[in-house]
Amino acid sequence: MRPNRSSGFTLMELMVVVATLGILALAIAPYFDTILVAQSRAYQLDQDRINRSVAFAMRDWAGRQADLGLPAPYTNAGQRRFSTIMDTNAAGLAELLQFIQDRGVTPFEINDDGTNMRRVRVYQRLTGLTSTSPLFGTSGPNVTLRYSVGAIYSTRCEILDGTCNLSPRAGDSPALTSANQATWQTTGTDSQAIRISTLGLEQERQRVTAYRLNRVRDQFRAFATAQLLAAPPGSTSNFLPGPSGGGANTQGCWHAWIDLQSSNMLDTVGLGKDEFGVTAWGGRVEYCRDYDTAGAGANTLPHVGALRINRSLSTAAAPAGAVAQNAFLTF
């Protein structure tokens, strides 16, 4: 009769199992590292995608605003949200929220990373920057544009972390300022920074404004040429459209400057005053049919016409009382 054997493993069997598990662990350890690296990379790519999508949506939204301005960062101290993207419940930002969602970002991913960790997505904005350049790109009077820049980036700070997510912004990166905006970048553990600028939107409006002024100038010049060809030979009359007569010299104009939007002057040359009587920002365009900065007097040959606008295009302001604040286009 065989002796009874107690249930369980012998010491030798346990040693064999432990050794086998150790060998297996050594064999698959590199794969765990690969999986962790892949997961981290996938997370970074996803956050980069979200940051880009939000940035592009903000730029699109700014393009629909009268001042082309970026939205202000959202601050909600009650939930320890500092300088995040937006209040997703704000009625005034419903269009921006829709733009963001149209780019594949859910409301739960806008202000943080959308995971259980809820790592803060930071947005900084800088306004009031200026750029001066010729009206026609490479020629013409200088004009000034005002624009905004912003930066959206990811942090390791969790929304409810009272030691990391501090006012006015979470993370390690410095404030975006006029002094560092050209070279600003994230620091520390912050990452996936995407920059936004409205300068391109402002420059597009500048191109539209330049086109409008060129059309007005060309049409007025063509009108005067047609009148001259129909006049008796040797005529020295001023054939540019507008009322005749003289007056005091006002910024080189010997007739009153005429507001092209509120007058019927553009009707004379077949242009719509609501389009060609203003800049692309809505600033007033004014016209003079007898322009002479030399001070020779009214109706002095050669007859020169002029258009004037406020040099600071982005403000949509009317021409100013000081010559230096205006841009002039003669013909």
User: Is residue 17 domain-resident?
Assistant: no
User: Is residue 304 domain-resident?
Assistant: yes
Q: Give the global pTM.
A: 0.84
User: Of 197, 228, 245, which closes a domain?
Assistant: 197
User: Of 145, 174, 197, which closes a domain?
Assistant: 197
d(CA 148, CA 226): 46
- Specify whether 192 is located in the same domain as 268: no
More confident residue, 24 or 254: 254
pLDDT, tens digit, 9 for 90 and up, residues 222-247: 999 999 999 999 888 889 998 876 66
User: Is residue 73 domain-resident?
Assistant: yes
User: Of 197, 225, 244, which closes a domain?
Assistant: 197
- Specify whether 164 is located in the same domain as 210: no
User: Is residue 12 domain-resident?
Assistant: no
- Specify whether 110 is located in the same domain as 46: yes
The count of other CB atoms within 10 Å of the CB of residue 68 is: 22
User: Is residue 28 domain-resident?
Assistant: no
Mean pLDDT of 112-130: 92
Tell me the CA distances in angstroms from 331 to 26, 306, 312, one per residue in order: 84, 6, 22
**To the nearest whole number, what is the mean pLDDT of the chain?**
88
The count of other CB atoms within 10 Å of the CB of residue 29 is: 10
Backbone angles phi, psi at 293, to 5 degrees: -75, -15
Total number of domains constituting the chain? 2
User: Is residue 10 domain-resident?
Assistant: no
- Specify whether 75 is located in the same domain as 148: yes
- Specify whether 280 is located in the same domain as 136: no
Task: Answer whether residue 142 shows pLDDT above 90.
Answer: yes
- Specify whether 171 is located in the same domain as 279: no
Residues of the chain above pLDDT 70, percent: 89
- Specify whether 191 is located in the same domain as 229: no
pLDDT, tens digit, 9 for 90 and up, residues 71-100: 999 876 555 445 788 888 888 899 999 999
Looking at residue 167, its pLDDT comes to 58
Task: Walk across the sheet containing 258-259 and list its strands.
Answer: 258-259, 286-288, 306-310, 326-330
Report the candidate in 9, 121, 115, 15 with the shortest Cα–Cα distance to residue 58: 121
Looking at residue 75, its pLDDT comes to 78
User: Is residue 273 domain-resident?
Assistant: yes
Task: Answer whether residue 264 shows pLDDT above 60.
Answer: yes
Parent domain of 284: 204-330
Looking at residue 300, its pLDDT comes to 78
- Specify whether 134 is located in the same domain as 233: no
Mean pLDDT of 90-114: 93
What's the chain's Rg over C-alpha atoms? 33
Task: Answer whether residue 8 shows pLDDT above 70.
Answer: no
- Specify whether 248 is located in the same domain as 319: yes
- Specify whether 279 is located in the same domain as 229: yes
Task: Answer whether residue 169 shows pLDDT above 90.
Answer: no
Mean pLDDT of 251-259: 91
d(CA 126, CA 201): 16
Geometric angle at alpha carbon 210, from 306 and 71, rounded to 5°? 125
Q: How confident is the model at residue 46 (pLDDT cuts 50, 70, 90)?
A: very high
User: Is residue 276 domain-resident?
Assistant: yes
Q: How confident is the model at residue 5 (pLDDT cuts 50, 70, 90)?
A: low
Helix (H, G, I), strand (E, B), or coil: what is residue 131?
strand
Task: Answer whether residue 48 shows pLDDT above 80.
Answer: yes
Helix (H, G, I), strand (E, B), or coil: what is residue 133?
strand
- Specify whether 192 is located in the same domain as 258: no
Mean pLDDT of 46-72: 95
pLDDT, tens digit, 9 for 90 and up, residues 173-206: 999 999 999 999 999 999 999 999 999 999 999 9
